[in-house]
Structure 1
Amino acid sequence: MTFSVTASFILGPMPQTVLVIGAGISGLAAALRLSSGANVSKVILLEASGHIGGWLQTTRTQEGAIFEHGPRGVRPAGIVGRNTLQMVSDLGLDSDVLPVTYRDVASKNRYLFVGGKLCKLPSSFMSAFVTRPPFTQPIISSLLREPFIRRGTHQDESVHSFVTRRFGKELAEIAIDSLCRGIFAGDSRELSVRSCFPLLFQAERTFGSVLIGMIAGGGGASKGPRFTSRLIGRAKEERWAQWSLKQGMQTLPEAMQQELRSRRVEIHRNSPVHRLQRTSDGGWEVQFDGGTLKVGHIFSSVPAKVLSGMLPPSCAALCESLRKIGSVSVTVVNLEYEGLVLPVTGFGHLVPSGESSEILGVVYDSCSFPQQDRAGPPTTRLTVMMGGSWFQEAFGDPETVAQDDLLQRATQAVQNHLGITQKPLKTIIKVQKDCIPQYTLGHSKHLDTIFGYIDDRQLPLSLIGASYRGVSVNDCIHEAQRAVDRLRG
């Protein structure tokens, strides 16, 4: 079967067909943006699996409980946060939003598991002046010293090295180590501060101090595009810390898919792309499960390494750079217990690598979103995150790891950390293979090489997705939209 469309690859007055590879949140966002323009005659979306939404995956049980196997909440802060809320409104999901405010216990109470016990993190200005485990001195002492630390001279630096240099070893090895495991499931000694926390890196470069840079940059929050969503006003007025959707985060890609279908965007599931070849008219020939497709421009939202296996031999140098962007696998174990069994309330707790390499943290889902508990007598939903950069050494190959072993380790962690000994009512185990890209040292140079190659050769190819400039839902949506806008000029 062959689809053939004759078209120029340069967006402009000539109508063309554009292909989006991958129907995760980035691919869906790009397809929505493309389908709203007048200079694209056709948008086609190919997804290798049978699932739309990438890592946004939700299980809805008959009892009414909601279990997330990927992102479970989105921050409304900044331009990227407001941008996502605008899209949520445009999709008609305002009444589906579940906010968590900064006044809620899930925002105020966050913990670390250190020394065999839960330690509450400082959550107020005054608490920064008090010495509390697991720290041996008040947090404020590290903050007050930071402006007097000499500016770094390296073009890139590990997150661990950066924080150690500016805030001290204790914060680096406990708090920041845990944070990197919670966000990236990665090792702070390997991750790049320039790429993972660009605001911190730029603050030091510009102001010589992270603290001064953050204070000076506080006034820039109002800059950027104008938004019309009433949700954005609510989020600001009610001081939202994060939000989800009543029927889970998968509601978002489902609404996006429905909107795309109303715009006559072709969506093909179970259609993996095998090979991309350049055509004589400057476009692409795409070989996939379903036939051959000729298009003018491609948006790739698949992981960088996956794309490297699709490109032709003539792009060997590009493929080599793409393969340098690695990723890690994470096991997500959802547990539901009878009754209110948590010894504390809050968002959850993270575990520094020095305490346990295999357990990244535990999220107290019922505290953040009790509306998503099952109907009837009270229950407690938890999610245990395991693996990441330590997956191989802890569990072996993600393809062959035993489900029983994963469940046993997750329930043992819940018992050790939270004292919950009863058998769970329900368990769901997901091994999310290669789900989080790792922005290791030199990531920014890899991006310069990759995007420089595409620009120099004027390839009709746009790269979007978590492999490049942000792993959060907000980042993926924003970068996908920007890529479409750049192509349109």
Structure 2
Amino acid sequence: MGRTIAVLGGGITGLSASYYLSRVKAGIKKVVLVEASGRLGGWLHSLRLDSGAVFELGPRALRPAGNAGANALNLVEDLGLSAEVLPVLRSAPAAQNRFLYSKGQLHALPSSFKGLLKVGGLLSRPLLWTALKEPFVRRGSKKEDETIYGFLERRMGKEVAELLADPLCRGIFAGDARYLSLRSCLPAAYEAQRLTGSLLLGLVLARSKRDHLLEQCELVHRARAEQWAQWSLARGLSSLPEALTRAISSSDQQPYSEIVLGEPVQALRFTGNGQAEITLPESKIIADHVISCLPAHALTSILHPSLAAPLTSIQSVTVAVVNLEYPGNVLPVQGFGHLVPSSEEKGVLGIIYDSDAFPSHNRPGTATTRLTVMLGGAWFEEVFGEVGEGKRDKSREYFLRCEAVSAVVRHLGVMIPPSVVKTSVHQNCIPQYHEGHWKIVGK
């Protein structure tokens, strides 16, 4: 008799786990995917407008680099989505040009050797000079972990920490570099210093070691040959969870797959006979194995306090995403977008120039500009107030909309009003791995 496996959480992680489990032909009798909400895909959510434009309410692109990137492309090809892939080449402006908004203006971040030699503007001295001195900085006394801000300040100076580390962490984690763990958030940088004593030397040596993949599909070969920087899908990234859902639902062979929607898990209890009892509002599931793809705060609420205790220290932040569409080509520059240091503006994390990266997602037949303004993160409550659990606050959404439009005026000089505005508030969407996080997860 085969085993029953329950997968908790129907985001991209839970869907992928269920998909791969459904392909195992021996030892598994049933795979049950349980999702609390009424939709699958988690934070991947593409809004397809009647005009033909595509807005990404969450993540908008994936990177092909490393084993993780290659595995994602393997999955896309396996699901029959290869023809829908929209690559962005490393030579494209959307890959080459990234900006920082500081002191009331946009500054191009270095993307070439010439840029490293530049004096003035963003940094008071050439970044190359600071980088060349970094290998000679002594190792810190704190070897187990330290904050990203503290690490960069110690090795490359306060200016680099404030103008590069701070906005970088706001853009990637929507978090504060002064609290985020170097070891858990940037493991490559942590290992580089630990093994060689130098951040830059360690990263150079690490890049010389190519990731070994057991299987490389045609898309992986294309991505490397054509030098992709990132990619999306023709109808938005939601096509990926949609294809996974179809593949899981169409599996009528062993193992049998079942998707349970709109059923929040109320309790997870482990029985004395090695099984797990999952309590839903109107039923129970008995499973031999459980794969949790839930965020820490959700998992904490269903576990016994003795098991949940280590997870209570893992915090998450709320991010507001405001999608804007303007008539015509209104951007003063071309590129991926720009980030904003917390010293400049706490509430605005950055603005993404969606039209430059994926023009195929613009409405056809007329020139438009699509932007996404990211707001809040670790500063959300401080700037915009607390968010009630599961409640929609229309007055706050209006305030967020006004703040986003105002930021586009201030940062990019776009004076005309947007023709389309979509505001989404993603509560507790990004976990924050603070200094010492590795002790919680054991690595």
Q: Same fold (TM over 0.5)?
A: yes
Three-state SS of the structure 2 residue aligned to 1:113 is strand
Deviation digits for residues 227-270 of structure 1 (CA, Å, limit 9, x no counterpart)? 23111111011110000001001111001111111224101111
Deviation digits for residues 255-288 of structure 1 (CA, Å, limit 9, x no counterpart)? 1111111224101111110011222322111111
**Mapped partners of 2:263, 2:251: distance in 1:** 21
Counterpart contact for 2:70–2:216, Cα < 8 Å: no
Counterpart contact for 1:115–1:355, Cα < 8 Å: yes
2:322 pairs with 1:333: yes
**Mapped partners of 2:41, 2:55: distance in 1:** 15
Partner residue, 2:261? 269
Show structure 2 runs of 5+ residues with no match.
none
2:281 pairs with 1:289: yes
- 1:9-28 paired onto structure 2 within 5 Å: 15-28=2-15
* Number of residue pairs aligned between Structure 1 and Structure 2: 432
Query: Could you tell me which of 421, 431, 436 is aligned with 1:427?
Result: 421
Three-state SS of the structure 2 residue aligned to 1:319 is helix
Counterpart contact for 2:167–2:341, Cα < 8 Å: yes
Partner residue, 1:175? 164
- Percent identity over paired residues: 45
2:85 pairs with 1:97: yes
Partner residue, 1:7? none
Three-state SS of the structure 1 residue aligned to 2:266 is strand
Displacement after TM superposition at 1:122 (Å): 0.9
Amino acid at match of 2:427: K
Deviation digits for residues 14-57 of structure 1 (CA, Å, limit 9, x no counterpart)? 51100001000111111112112121110000100011110001
- 1:21-100 paired onto structure 2 within 5 Å: 21-37=8-24, 38-100=26-88
2:355 pairs with 1:361: no
Displacement after TM superposition at 1:226 (Å): 2.0
Displacement after TM superposition at 1:132 (Å): 4.2
Counterpart contact for 2:99–2:339, Cα < 8 Å: yes
Show structure 1 runs of 5+ residues with no match.
1-13, 452-489
Query: Could you tell me which of 437, 444, 454 is aligned with 2:431?
Result: 437
Counterpart contact for 2:100–2:107, Cα < 8 Å: yes
Partner residue, 1:298? 290
**Mapped partners of 1:443, 1:278: distance in 2:** 26
Displacement after TM superposition at 1:210 (Å): 1.0
Deviation digits for residues 161-210 of structure 1 (CA, Å, limit 9, x no counterpart)? 00011111111101110000000000000100010001101111100111
Displacement after TM superposition at 1:398 (Å): 2.1
Amino acid at match of 1:128: L
Amino acid at match of 1:125: F
Partner residue, 2:132? 144
Counterpart contact for 1:79–1:221, Cα < 8 Å: no
- 1:231-246 paired onto structure 2 within 5 Å: 231-246=219-234
Partner residue, 1:384? 373
Counterpart contact for 1:159–1:191, Cα < 8 Å: yes
Three-state SS of the structure 1 residue aligned to 2:10 is coil
Amino acid at match of 1:335: L
Three-state SS of the structure 2 residue aligned to 1:30 is helix
Counterpart contact for 1:304–1:323, Cα < 8 Å: yes
Query: Could you tell me which of 260, 266, 272 is aligned with 2:248?
Result: 260
2:108 pairs with 1:120: yes
Displacement after TM superposition at 1:422 (Å): 1.2
Counterpart contact for 2:175–2:377, Cα < 8 Å: yes
Counterpart contact for 1:362–1:382, Cα < 8 Å: yes
Three-state SS of the structure 2 residue aligned to 1:260 is helix
- TM value normalised by structure 2: 0.96
Counterpart contact for 2:93–2:356, Cα < 8 Å: yes
Runs of 4+ in structure 1 deviating by more than 6 angstroms, as ranges, are none
- 1:215-226 paired onto structure 2 within 5 Å: 215-223=204-212, 225-226=213-214
State the Cα RMSD in Å: 1.2
**Mapped partners of 2:84, 2:50: distance in 1:** 19
**Mapped partners of 1:196, 1:153: distance in 2:** 20
Three-state SS of the structure 1 residue aligned to 2:342 is coil
Partner residue, 1:406? 400
**Mapped partners of 1:119, 1:126: distance in 2:** 15
Three-state SS of the structure 2 residue aligned to 1:403 is helix
2:351 pairs with 1:351: no
Counterpart contact for 1:270–1:289, Cα < 8 Å: no
**Mapped partners of 1:267, 1:99: distance in 2:** 32
**Mapped partners of 2:230, 2:140: distance in 1:** 33
- TM value normalised by structure 1: 0.87
Partner residue, 1:195? 184
Deviation digits for residues 68-113 of structure 1 (CA, Å, limit 9, x no counterpart)? 0111011101111111111111111100100001110101110000
